[in-house]
């Protein structure tokens, strides 16, 4: 089902959504508050409409988007394969105008993110992961394969943190690491992509996220050879038998805490 043509179609759709976002980013825009008090902009809605329209032209699979998340669990529970979309991940970064926001489109099969595209329109960087076939990054038309970088003894741990969210529980995880640590600040799903491309060793997330925040970037991480695993104890987050993060397994779309690693 996942043909080269479809992969390119999804990349193109992410770029088209990015164009919609950038048209609004470069001027004044409205900011609204959703029912959960999180911010929503005109760009979120424009990108959502663009992606849904594009996906419906190339696929008949159901779509779960952050901006159409009111689909009942009874309906979602019947889905084996579907598109998982965050039209604008990092809305707070968008509002701050720091460029660290993305368009996320993932294909989920039986709970597993098997394909994902993460596009950062300001940075003009596109990350693509196809499970079993590898991951790559496109910058200014140049495609390069990416892979995570294992920590080696004596090296400083590069640990990704959020610009907009921080949790005091992260300190317990940092204390469990051997050697020095360096915080690498980044917004949106780009945090996972930094581990996927070897620019950081770890990304512990000990704060709330939703499935559409992570699906596409997890596909990139796992296709590149990395892992996204559930954290049950922040002091023991690196245990080898940690369970992988999975999707559409429960009524809530909230993720458990997780760790992105090599």
Whether residue 164 has pLDDT greater than 60: no
Task: Report how far residue 26's alpha carbon sits from residue 194's, in angstroms, rounded to the nearest whole number.
Answer: 26
- Cα–Cα nearest to 188, from 210, 157, 156, 155: 210
Confidence of residue 82 (pLDDT cuts 50, 70, 90): very high
Whether residue 89 has pLDDT greater than 60: yes
**CA-derived radius of gyration, the chain:** 17
Mean per-residue pLDDT, 83-96: 91
- Strand 63-65 and strand 81-89: pairing? parallel
Looking at every residue in the chain, the average pLDDT score rounds to 91
Beta carbons within 10 angstroms of residue 164's beta carbon: 16
* pLDDT in the model for residue 163: 57
Which position has the higher pLDDT, 238 or 57? Answer: 57
pLDDT digits (tens, 9 = 90+) for 110-141: 999 999 999 999 999 999 999 999 999 999 88
pLDDT digits (tens, 9 = 90+) for 10-41: 999 999 999 999 998 888 666 666 655 455 67
Whether residue 168 has pLDDT greater than 60: yes
| Percent with pLDDT over 70 in the chain | 92
Determine contact, residues 228/214, Cβ cutoff 8 Å: yes
Q: Of all helices (H) and strands (E), which one includes residue 69?
A: none
- Strand 157-162 and strand 181-186: pairing? parallel
Determine contact, residues 255/246, Cβ cutoff 8 Å: no
């Amino acid at each position: 089902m996942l043909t080269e043509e479809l992969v390119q179609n999804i990349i193109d759709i992410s770029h088209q959504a990015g164009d919609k976002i950038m048209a609004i980013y470069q001027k004044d825009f409205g900011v609204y508050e959703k029912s959960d008090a999180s911010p929503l902009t005109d760009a979120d809605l424009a990108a959502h409409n663009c992606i849904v329209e594009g996906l419906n032209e190339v696929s008949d699979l159901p779509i779960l988007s952050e901006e159409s998340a009111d689909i009942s669990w009874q309906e979602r529970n019947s889905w084996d394969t579907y598109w998982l979309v965050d039209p604008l991940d990092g809305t707070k970064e968008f509002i701050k105008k720091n460029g660290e926001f993305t368009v996320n489109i993932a294909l989920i099969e039986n709970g597993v993110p098997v394909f994902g595209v993460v596009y950062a329109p300001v940075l003009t960087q596109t990350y693509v992961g196809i499970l079993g076939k590898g991951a790559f990054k496109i910058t200014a038309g140049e495609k390069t394969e990416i892979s995570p970088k294992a920590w080696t003894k004596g090296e400083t741990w590069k640990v990704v943190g959020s610009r907009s969210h921080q949790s005091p529980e992260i300190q317990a995880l940092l204390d469990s690491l051997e050697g020095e640590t360096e915080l690498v600040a980044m917004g949106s799903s780009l945090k996972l992509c930094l581990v996927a491309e070897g620019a950081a060793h770890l990304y512990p997330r000990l704060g709330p996220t939703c499935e559409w925040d992570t699906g596409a970037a997890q596909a990139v991480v796992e296709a590149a050879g990395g892992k996204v695993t559930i954290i049950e104890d922040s002091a023991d987050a690196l245990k080898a038998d940690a369970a992988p993060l999975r999707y559409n397994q429960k009524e809530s779309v909230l993720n458990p805490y997780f760790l992105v690693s090599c």
